[in-house]
Amino acid sequence: MPLAQPNDVVLSLNGLPRRETARTLRNMIIRICVSTLLAAMIATAAEVGPERGQLLIAGGNLRGQRILRAFVQLAGEEQARLVIIPTAATDEGLDDDDVELFRELGVTNIVVLHTRDREKADSEEFAKPLKSATAVWMSGGRQWRLADAYLGTKVLVGIQNVLDRGGIVGGGSAGASIMGSYLVRGDSRSNEPIMGDHEVGFGLLKQVGIDQHLLARNRQFDLVKLIEAKPELLGIGLDENTAILVTGDEFEVMGTSYVAIYDRGWMKENDKPFYLLSPGQRFDLAARSPIRAKRRR
């Protein structure tokens, strides 16, 4: 059916009572506005990052409080309702260090959520704290433990719902790697292999594999093996005390060191294994390209 032209609209309103004409015009305007809004939402839908909310993905060993202060601010500061998930740690390594750290930053409403029982993790009662949370923080350890406990459960659904409500999900070290769709260093026997017996992450970033402790542990060439084996993936390597803040399909580098980008297409074109982004630089995840800063006039 051809679209109505302006003159058609005017003619179609002739002969209607004034009240009906106003009502018809108002309904038409509402339909146009809704259609325009839906079209804009579709056009700007995130391809890689979260549709709503934000991710703070840190490379581990956070020194000082600058990065975590930014996380707390986005979580709602004193009104934040924070869920901490320490499951990546060993049973002996579970402690209250993160709880104390966030309390020092002014967060008082904190729930620690931990289990290794998948049946429990898939229960409404266990996942209930996530229904009102404004933020989730996943601590360090071994990322495969998070996958074993929570993949395919109501806990993971609850984490996604925190984002869908406009909240923030963060994590450091293992808590960073689990956010990718591919689980980097997911081998349960050793953290050395870049590809192991666990390969599926939480998928909060799609088509992405995330490594951490990058330069501090001399890991900067390890993600090359992953990208060569799985060229569809984008590799992101984060050094210690460094993070990316992801909003939609863009992120900004925070902290004191570098973030490395591994992209098979870029590698072929430039004959180099990766390139580095420094604090303050921004990146387009969908275009797989750094965002150039606008020049000030």
The pair of structure tokens assigned to 160 is: 């996604």
261 and 269 in contact (C-beta within 8 Å)? no
The percent of the chain in helix, strand and coil, each rounded to the nearest 5, is: 35, 20, 45
Statement: residue 21 has pLDDT above 60:
no
For 112, other C-beta atoms within 10 Å of its C-beta total 16
Question: What is the tens place of the pLDDT at every residue in 5-15?
Answer: 333 333 333 45
Which of the four pLDDT bands, split at 50, 70 and 90, describes residue 26? low
Per-residue model confidence (pLDDT) at position 63? 87
Statement: residue 269 has pLDDT above 90:
yes
Question: What is the tens place of the pLDDT at every residue in 88-141?
Answer: 999 999 999 999 999 999 999 999 999 999 999 999 999 999 999 999 999 999
Which of the four pLDDT bands, split at 50, 70 and 90, describes residue 147? very high
Looking at per-residue pLDDT, the higher value among 78 and 295 belongs to 78
Which residue is associated with the tokens 């004191």?
A: 256
The pair of structure tokens assigned to 101 is: 């750290």
Question: What is the tens place of the pLDDT at every residue in 64-73?
Answer: 889 999 999 9
Looking at per-residue pLDDT, the higher value among 173 and 38 belongs to 173
Half-sphere exposure of 275 toward its Cβ, with a 13 Å CA cutoff? Answer: 16
Q: Please name every residue paired with 283 in a beta bridge, in sequence order, or none if there are none.
A: 251, 290
For 92, other C-beta atoms within 10 Å of its C-beta total 6
For residue 45, with 0-12 CB atoms within 10 Å meaning exposed, 13-18 middle and 19 or more buried, which class applies? exposed
62 and 171 in contact (C-beta within 8 Å)? no
Per-residue model confidence (pLDDT) at position 43? 40
Q: pTM of this prediction?
A: 0.84
Q: How far is CA 24 from the centre of its chain?
A: 43
Single-letter residue type at 250: E
Statement: residue 33 has pLDDT above 90:
no
Per-residue model confidence (pLDDT) at position 45? 81
Which of the four pLDDT bands, split at 50, 70 and 90, describes residue 169? very high
CA neighbor of 170 nearest in space, from 59, 265, 43, 39: 59
Question: What is the tens place of the pLDDT at every residue in 170-203?
Answer: 999 999 999 999 999 999 999 999 999 999 999 9
Which residue is associated with the tokens 């294994």?
A: 273
Give the C-alpha separation, 283 to 243, whole Å: 13
